[in-house]
Structure formats: structure tokens, C-alpha cells
Structure 1
Amino acid sequence: MPLAATEISEWSDLFVASAGATAALAGLVFVAISINIDRILKLEGVAELGLITLILLVGVLVVSLFGLIPGQEDTSFGYEMLALSVISSLAVFALVKRSLAGVGPGEGRLTSRLILPMFGTVPYLVGSVLLVTGSDAGMYWVFAGMVGAIIAAVMNAWILLVEILR
């Protein structure tokens, strides 16, 4: 048994499970948004938080689908990840900037709007660069990005469903 699973084919079970789980979570976030749509639209920056959450979840889904392409080389996956991570990071940070524009000092929303999304974007960037350069650590960084994105999305979903009603 190898100490490190460095080939993309060794991660296929994880990708299958992640694709199903994140598709279901994205559906639940859509429901949460639709239930609270009036309140979400009234609160400045919260609609952006909803879109960030969906981008993070769909990002994990797309990563999983990329990882399931048969016969793919690690470097090909790395280039796909690099393109996805750059595009999603730019989109997330543009939405974060818009979301923070209406947040006053001391409102305590910096964590959910800026820090949490970084857990689902930065590891992808690191992992994709490592994969492209042939480093064995790349897949583990991609995994960290998947976990970070799911955790951030679940925490944001709680805000969208419960916290905005307080």
C-alpha cells in the first residue's frame, strides 16, 4: 500500500462521492435561498454570499467531474484545475468585494464573506500549480480545497437559512 496516493486514478472514489454530495448540497442551498429570497434581497451583500456559496459547491462538483475523466494525466488535471481555480477565485473575490461594500465596521461579517471562501479557492490554486509542476503534493492540496469549499458553503448556507432571520 503506497504512503501517498499521487495518481489521479487513485482518487476516483472520492471524486464520485464528492460529486454526489456537492450536487445535493447545491440543491439545498438553492432551496434555502428561495425560501428566504425576500429577506436575502433586503440585506446588503447577502445575495452575493448566496452566489459565493453556490460557486464553491459547484466548484467541488466540477473538480470531481474533471477528476473522473478516464485516462487523464495528472498534469492535464492540473491545467484544468488551474483554469477552474483562477476563474472561480476571480469570481468569488469580485463577489466578496461587492458583498463587503455594505458591511460596516464591527459587523463581524468579514469571516463569512472573506476568510471562509479562501478555504475553497486558495488550496485549489496551490494544488493546480503543484500538479502542473509534477509535485506529489498537488492532489492533497486539491482535496484540501474541496473540504474547505464544502465547510465554507455549509457555514454560509446556515447564514442564508437561519442567521438572516435573527
Structure 2
Amino acid sequence: MSGYLTASWSDFSVSMVGASAALTGLLFVALSINIERILTSDALTARSLSTMILFVVPLVIGTLLLIPGQPRTALGVELVAAGIAAGACLLPVNRPASRGSLEPRYSWWLFRLLPSVTIALFLVLAGSSLIAGVGGGLYWVAPAAIEAFLAGLATVWVLLVEIRR
């Protein structure tokens, strides 16, 4: 499989879109179960929005990769734009002021700030290297998706379980 041939990434894209849809459903379950507690805290509301964005990013990326016959340069530009958009959405939501008093600083760094920066960076690298034809291409999409899923799952755990402690 090549990082520059989009057709060979279709199975990965389909699985990424399916996982994103399933995890978004899990987020809505968590939100609906604990909506009253979440709405009383600006920090939890921000975490919920951040998680929604984290799960939408792989959905968008997977969908872009599944567009048939799309030129490599066009996909590269779309991935760069998706990276910039992801960072522009995630960074304001995960700013230091949105950290709740009960959220440890290391948790905020690891599960909110770090993914906000690196997911955007991975997608910009994927798009840029796809356009250039060197540097890894679509292989940069995998860590972006994995990080989005893991960071989102950590917050879903908080919204489902930790919020009740």
C-alpha cells in the first residue's frame, strides 16, 4: 500500500468512518444520560463539544478519502484545509480557561491540548506531503485518526463514568 495512492486506502477509510459514527453515537448516549450535570458545568460542556469535533474529524477525513477519482493534489488541499479547520475548532474550545477545577492539568494537556495541536499538524503534514509526493502522504492520516479516537474516548469515559463519582 502506498501513502500516495488513494484507492488503496478505501478499506481504512470505510473503517474510520464507521468507527467515527459509532463513537459519535456513544457520545450522544453519554450526553443524554448525564445532560443535567454536563449543562451545569462550562468545562464539561466544552469537553463535550471538543469530543464531538474529535469524532467528526475522522468522519470528514474518511469521507474525503472515499471520493472516487479525486486527484491527489485536490485531496492534499482538502486535508490541509481539514487540518487547519480542526485546529481552528479544537484550540479555542480547549483553551486553558476551559479546564475545569476538577480536571487535572496533566489530563488537560494529554487529552485536550495535545490532540488539538497534533491532529491539526498530522493532517497538514498528510496533505502537504501528498501534494509534494514525498514525506509519507496518507500515512499521516492514521495517527491523526487514532489520536482523535483515543482522546475522544477518554472524554466519553469522563462523561459516562467519572461525572457520577
Q: What TM-score results when the alignment is normalised by the length of structure 2? A: 0.88
RMSD of the alignment, in Å? 2.1
CA offsets per residue over residues 84-135 of structure 1, 9 Å max, x none? Answer: 11112111001011x6345459833423331244443321122122122222
Alignment-mate amino acid for residue 7 of structure 1: L
- Contact 1:75-1:131 within 8 A present in 2 as well: yes
| 1:80-95 superposed matches below 5 A | 80-95=78-93
User: Secondary structure at the residue paired with 2:42?
Assistant: coil
Name the % identity.
33
Aligned residues: 163
Name the structure 1 match of 2:59.
61
- Equivalent-residue separation in structure 1 for 2:164 and 2:115 (angstroms): 21
Alignment-mate amino acid for residue 155 of structure 1: A
Name the structure 1 match of 2:12.
14
Question: Which structure has the highest helix share of the two?
Answer: 2
User: Secondary structure at the residue paired with 2:154?
Assistant: helix
Name the structure 2 match of 1:100.
97
CA offsets per residue over residues 121-155 of structure 1, 9 Å max, x none? Answer: 32112212212222250211111111111111111
Name the structure 1 match of 2:160.
161
Unmatched runs of 5 consecutive residues or more in structure 1: none
Which of 41, 44, 63 is 2:42 aligned to? 44
Indicate whether 1:25 and 2:4 are aligned: no
Name the structure 2 match of 1:132.
131
CA 112–91 in structure 1, closer or farther in 2 if over 3 Å, else same: same
Alignment-mate amino acid for residue 97 of structure 2: L
- Equivalent-residue separation in structure 2 for 1:132 and 1:5 (angstroms): 11
Higher mean displacement: 127-136 or 99-108: 99-108
Unmatched runs of 5 consecutive residues or more in structure 2: none
- Equivalent-residue separation in structure 1 for 2:64 and 2:72 (angstroms): 11
C-alpha displacement of 1:57: 0.9
- Contact 1:8-1:74 within 8 A present in 2 as well: yes
- Equivalent-residue separation in structure 2 for 1:27 and 1:142 (angstroms): 22
Name the structure 2 match of 1:72.
70
